[in-house]
Amino acid sequence: MRKAILFDLDGTLTDSGEGIINCAIAALKHFGLPVPAREEMRVFVGPPLHETFLKFGVKPEQTDEAIRVYRERYIPIGKFENTPYPGIRELLASLKTAGHKLYVATSKPETTSIEILEHFDLAKYFDCICGASMDLSRYSKEDVIAYLLEQNGQADNMVMIGDTKFDVLGAKKHGIPTVGVAWGYGEVKDMEEAGAVKIAYTMEELQTYLLK
């Protein structure tokens, strides 16, 4: 049966940690806040920035400014400090050849997501690329998936592919099961506890599961 497959972007299709962390560091320095080890800042990859900045000492009334400073570096530079995961291009090509419909559902701003996927020549594989709105009226994974379903409809055979519990929980709100990938920035245990139906540890394992 042909599937409608929703992919997260950061940590699932591309390894975007370097650029995201570099820009988050710039924002923390802007407020004179301590900059933790890069390993601790991996949590910036995936979840909405508003929520993550709060965990690092940014006050609620400062989050908009933190994101502005973040984007001042991210838009011209950080978004391209990024690399598609090995084998992802081949995976997408094989899924398209098999007749599956492919979508992107990301909490990253939609315009930026399109630019990144076009830069790496990956946009051509997707029927629709959906992301957050710049005014944050749509930013959580649940919101983005709702937006995607409004445009494309919902099918019984949909599946989400993501690397964090936020992907699992957001898709679950719409009755969509999630396959977690272990190569991203989330924790396998967190995805399993959130209800992931499977964890794929390699690109080959994911391909086999999706093509079965």
Residues annotated catalytic, as ranges = 8
Supply 22's token pair.
Answer: 């570099």
- As a whole number of angstroms, the distance between CA 9 and CA 160 comes to 11
Token pair for residue 19? 């650029």
10: DSSP letter: B
Contact 169, 152 (CB under 8 A): no
Q: Are strands 4-7 and 101-109 parallel, antiparallel or unpaired?
A: parallel
Across-strand partners of 107? none
Determine the angle formed by the axes of helices 17-30 and 63-74, rounding to 10 degrees: 130
